[in-house]
A and B are shown apart, each in its own frame.
Chain A
Amino acid sequence: MLKFRETLKIVVVGHVDHGKSTVIGRLLYDTKSLPEGAIEKVKRISKETGKPFEYAYLLDAFEEEQKQGITIDTTQIQFHTKKRDYVIIDAPGHVEFLKNMISGAANAEAALLVIDANEGVREQSKRHGYILSLLGIKKVYVLVNKMDLIDYSEEKFLDVKSDMDTFLKSINVFPQKYIPVSAFYGENIALRSKKNAVV
């Protein structure tokens, strides 16, 4: 008999370049969920174009996305843990592609809202938060990303958290948790980080 397994659909949202696709790419990498050759392909592309290696390319499949270093359209991938199955939905952060972000978010039951620790709360951080509330997505986790760029400073993390929390409260979004991460270096992505005392 087929066993019943729960599926959870999670969308990753936030301002352009704050690291949404990198979060997903790194999660797939660290959990060995990638097909053979996927990382090698990204390495080959980086070498050919002379650009640094990007986990985001695992999601940003279009040539235009890789050349411009941004996500244009949403995609979904399957992800499995012992506990349940997940559908992880990548959404673009550029304001021009808001319709694609909404197309992705409309399917979700939970969300990760990614904020660049160095840049702090930006226009699409807020707008995406607002869209989550419109769509009735209540389970929201805020990832404060690129902690490596601010030397894993707890103080700055708490500043970003307080900024975002003030805004989210005003639109009736109450995140489950704020998590400091470094997506690129895999800190607090698949494994709990030893660098962040703040978790």
Chain B
Amino acid sequence: MDRLDMLEAQSIYILREAYKSFGKLGMLWSIGKDSTVMLWLAKKAFFGHCPFPFIHIDTTYKIPEMIRFRDKIAKEYNLDLIVYTNWDAINNGMGPEKGRLVCCKALKTDALQHVIDKYKFEGLIVGVRRDEEGSRSKERIFSERNKESEWNYTNQPPELWDQFKTDFPKGNHIRVHPILNWTELDIWEYIKRENIPVVDLYFAKNGKRYRSLGCAQCTGQIDSNASTVDEIIEELKHTNINERAGRAQDKEDAYAMQKLRKDGYM
């Protein structure tokens, strides 16, 4: 079987297992390439109609093109979209200048926690990949979080073949990771094969492009002339630079992402 076919089949299986297992299920959509691929997979898994809401945690610091792309796609695909901002924190002056990790915690992790509490989500589908960074490399496909969204990563349950742990105490929830085993290159090859629309920011203009998208202040561009999907694929085949090199988060200290994610960050 072709690698992309294999990955697609596995992801679709995971999405359907999640739908079967959880009463209240939602998918995080960050507008980036990974969760946009996941949205595509969800449409395939459920024959064009996604039977759960999509959640965008809007920090208000996103790059404007991202928001325009979000609204356009949401309309085209007729998505049930929940947009949530932690306005209390914003109104109290929260922003990147308060410290990147503090800001991520308040505007992303805490915001997500508010959404979980409000809608009582039991399952949240998240588009993280192992090859992004260390703590994600150690994830399970179905990964439990407690009431405070904490991840007990030193004691994860076994996960054998395609048997996933779906029972958990009330109030906890499961993070479902359908594209955990995809690489960045897989994502772009799939985007090419399926002709999936992605936000323009990934394509080079004047020698620069975004390789990973986040908040404007904390995400840098890379030097690149790759202005089409084909050129991005070629670029990735020959680069040895880390995908998240442009992201400030990962640079704070060696275990910054682990700490953020332990507390419920995606």
* B residues at A contact (CB < 8 Å): 2-4, 6, 130-131, 133-135, 137-138, 140, 153-154, 156-161, 181, 183, 189, 193, 240-243, 245, 254-255, 258
Contact = CB atoms under 8 A, between A and B. Distances in A.
B76 to A, nearest CB: 27
Contacts of A106: 160-161
Contacts of A64: 154
A62 B134 CA distance: 7
Contacts of A75: 130, 137-138
Given A61-B137, A62-B258, A63-B258, A36 B153 contact: no
A193 interface: no
A7 interface: yes
- Interface majority SS (helix, strand, loop, mixed), chain A: mixed
A72 interface: yes
A103 B157 CA distance: 9
A136 B243 CA distance: 37
A38 B131 CA distance: 12
B3 A76 contact: no
A36 B131 contact: no
A62 B154 contact: yes
22 contacts: A2-B4, A2-B193, A5-B3, A34-B240, A35-B241, A36-B245, A37-B242, A61-B133, A61-B138, A62-B154, A62-B258, A63-B255, A73-B153, A73-B154, A75-B130, A77-B131, A78-B131, A78-B183, A87-B181, A103-B158, A103-B159, A106-B160
A82 B119 CA distance: 49
A75 B130 CA distance: 8
A199 B254 CA distance: 40
A107 B156 CA distance: 17
A51 interface: no
Contacts of B241: 35-37
A63 B134 CA distance: 10
A168 interface: no
Interface size class of A (residues with CB under 8 A): 20 to 34
A64 B255 CA distance: 10
Interface of A: 2, 4-5, 7, 32, 34-38, 41, 44-45, 48, 61-64, 72-78, 85, 87, 99-100, 102-103, 106-107
Nearest to B181: A76
Contacts of B242: 35-38
Contact of A103 (B160, B181, B254): B160
A7 B7 CA distance: 12
Contact of A62 (B4, B131, B153, B160): B153
Contacts of A102: 158, 160
Of the listed residues B6, B157, B183, B240, the one surrounded by the most CB atoms of chain A closer than 10 A to its CB is B240
B105 to A, nearest CB: 18
A107 B162 CA distance: 9
Given A63-B258, A73-B138, 20 more contacts: A2-B193, A7-B3, A35-B243, A36-B245, A37-B242, A44-B254, A48-B254, A61-B137, A61-B138, A62-B138, A72-B154, A73-B153, A77-B130, A77-B131, A77-B137, A85-B3, A87-B181, A99-B158, A102-B160, A103-B140
Contacts of A100: 156, 158
A2 B194 CA distance: 13
Contacts of B137: 61, 75-77
Contacts of B161: 106-107
Given A32-B240, A103-B158, A7 B6 contact: yes
B158 A4 contact: no
A102 B135 CA distance: 20
Nearest to B241: A36
Nearest to B186: A78
Nearest to A64: B154
A169 B241 CA distance: 46
B157 A99 contact: yes
Nearest to A99: B158
Contacts of A32: 240
Contact of B134 (A4, A7, A61, A76): A61
A55 B170 CA distance: 41
